[in-house]
Amino acid sequence: MSLLRKNSTEEQLKAKSGILRTDWDIDEIEALFNLPFIDLVFKAQSIHRQNFDPNSVQISTLLSIKTGACPEDCSYCSQSAGNDTSLEREKLLALDKVIVAAKEAKDSGVTRFCMGAAWRNPTDKSLDNVIEMIEGVKELGLETCVTLGMLDGQQAQRLKKAGLNYYNHNLDTSPEFYGTVITTRTYQDRLDTIQHVQDAGINVCAGGILGMGETRHDRARLLQELANLSQHPDSVPINDLVQVQGTPLDGIDRLDSFEFIRTIAVARILMPKSYVRLSAGRVEMNDEMQSLCFLSGANSIFYGERLLTTDNPIENHDDVLIAKLGMEKEKPAFAN
């Protein structure tokens, strides 16, 4: 009897009782990856339908509030000070510019407004400024999300008090492959920040980047780390590497599209109640690939022409695709 079949009864019992598994074994996850493609997609779509409206997609937008000169050495990032990408360093955006951008996002149907700053970790003064932005965006009736680098427990509590809904902090890849991509921040640093965020009662947004030269085993290990957190991330962004000239990963072989879709499907199976976001890299995906990702359990996208410093599909194209598929944008709800 296969390992996958052996554990199916336990999975069904836990699913019926509403228990989310946080004890996935790597062999189980790799067995999912190895399923025939159609069987994997069917399994993922079946689980998706048990937990979400299959024809609804949640819309977020991402604004860079502080761009460039990041001290981290992430091999994929245009904002690293160590990568020669000709990206100009910018100061923290003024509050009024952030609010204008948030209003425009809300008018376009966005329900969550995300703000990213190229910091290793925020100082107390910079956190004061971001908190003003969070409070201003929430007054518009939008959910708020920020990604500011590493946090300690006290900073996470301050963000919770300000009403922050989500904090994004990706694991990026497997623990074993991580050191080939980043050396200035440890994997444990990332896990510690996620724990501080969860302890503060803030929703976690955590995912990874595919196509950095990792193996399928690394992709399985990334999903295992996410699914075996004490609490599943509320939102799981899956990024397809955007190759930026001047970064060490520019020119690397692109990941096969079916392998990307498989990863989306396995993420949906492991984390059935999490939003799975089809994130960076959509410019390089055709409509058919994105549609298969939705079929495999993706139910969230970033809206707007830019994701921090890289291109994103224009809103009109997303609207056309969503309409073609007979899907609808998730209805906005006043942020609480």
Q: Which of 112, 205, 262, 268 is catalytic?
A: 205
Does the annotation count 114 as an active-site position?
Answer: yes
The values of phi and psi at residue 187, to 5°, are -60, -40
Q: Which of 5, 21, 49, 114 is catalytic?
A: 114
Does the annotation count 293 as an active-site position?
Answer: no
Query: What ranges make up the beta strands (E) of 9-163?
Result: 56-66, 112-117, 143-147
Which pair of structure tokens corresponds to residue 300? Answer: 């969230």
User: Taking the CA atoms of the chain, what radius of gyration do you get in angstroms?
Assistant: 19
Find how far residue 203's CA is from the centre of its chain.
Answer: 12
Does the annotation count 70 as an active-site position?
Answer: yes
C-alpha to C-alpha distance for 119 and 113, rounded to whole angstroms: 19
Does the annotation count 77 as an active-site position?
Answer: yes
Residue 113 · residue 168 · CB < 8 Å: no
Q: Which of 77, 185, 190, 282 is catalytic?
A: 77
Residue 79 · residue 113 · CB < 8 Å: no
Kindly give, in sequence order, each residue whose CB lies less than 8 Å from that of residue 61, ignoring residues fewer than 6 positions away: 105, 108, 110, 112, 113, 114, 302, 303, 304
Q: Which of 112, 145, 190, 219 is catalytic?
A: 145
Q: Which of 112, 221, 268, 277 is catalytic?
A: 277
Active site residues: 70, 74, 77, 114, 145, 205, 277
